[in-house]
Amino acid sequence: MAASTYDEINLQVCRLAAQEFNIPYLVAHASDPDIAAQMLKLGARVVRPQFATILALEGALHFPAAFDMLSDHEDGVEVREVELSNPRFAGKLLRQIRLPGDALILGLRRDGEVLVPHGNTRLRQGDLLMLVGHQDALAKSLNQLDSNTL
């Protein structure tokens, strides 16, 4: 993550991370659109403060309950992502999966496409799962789904 207040430094960090260390997931802060474009070419996800503020305001306006849930960490509810790597779950229908505690699968990304899952959604190894729940249930779920144990 490149989060300096200086866009040029963040670009240099992205270049180093991508080209020298082959880091697969880059996130960077950039205000300058030209520098943001260069970061995107390196494969970074770019957070532009002016757009982040607009998205947050729009979310608070249109989805107040969801915004409150995501921004209030005192209640212990979080949203997390995990790549499904445990072969035990590959090929199973979502309705067959029992996650610990109150953890739920909200969505998944497969082959670059976001899917809204339902009970008949068949999970595949490599799916990126979006989970919601309390911290302890999420920690157990992440361990369970990311584990390579049969």
Q: Are 104 and 85 in contact (CB under 8 A)?
A: no
- Which domains occur in the chain, in start order? 1-71 (no CATH), 74-146 (3.30.70.1450)
Task: Please list the pLDDT of the chain residue by residue as tens digits (150 residues).
Answer: 999 999 999 999 999 999 999 998 899 999 999 999 999 999 999 998 888 777 778 777 877 877 776 666 677 788 888 999 999 999 999 999 999 999 999 899 999 888 899 999 999 999 999 998 888 999 999 999 987 654
Q: Structure tokens of 57?
A: 């305001």
Q: Are 105 and 122 in contact (CB under 8 A)?
A: no
Q: Give the C-alpha separation, 116 to 114, whole Å.
A: 7
**pLDDT digits 0-9 by tens, 46-89:** 998 888 777 778 777 877 877 776 666 677 788 888 999 999 99
User: Residue 6: helix, strand or coil by DSSP?
Assistant: coil
Report the pLDDT value the prediction gives residue 148, as an integer from 0 to 100.
62
- The CB density around residue 5, as the number of other CB atoms within 10 Å, is 9
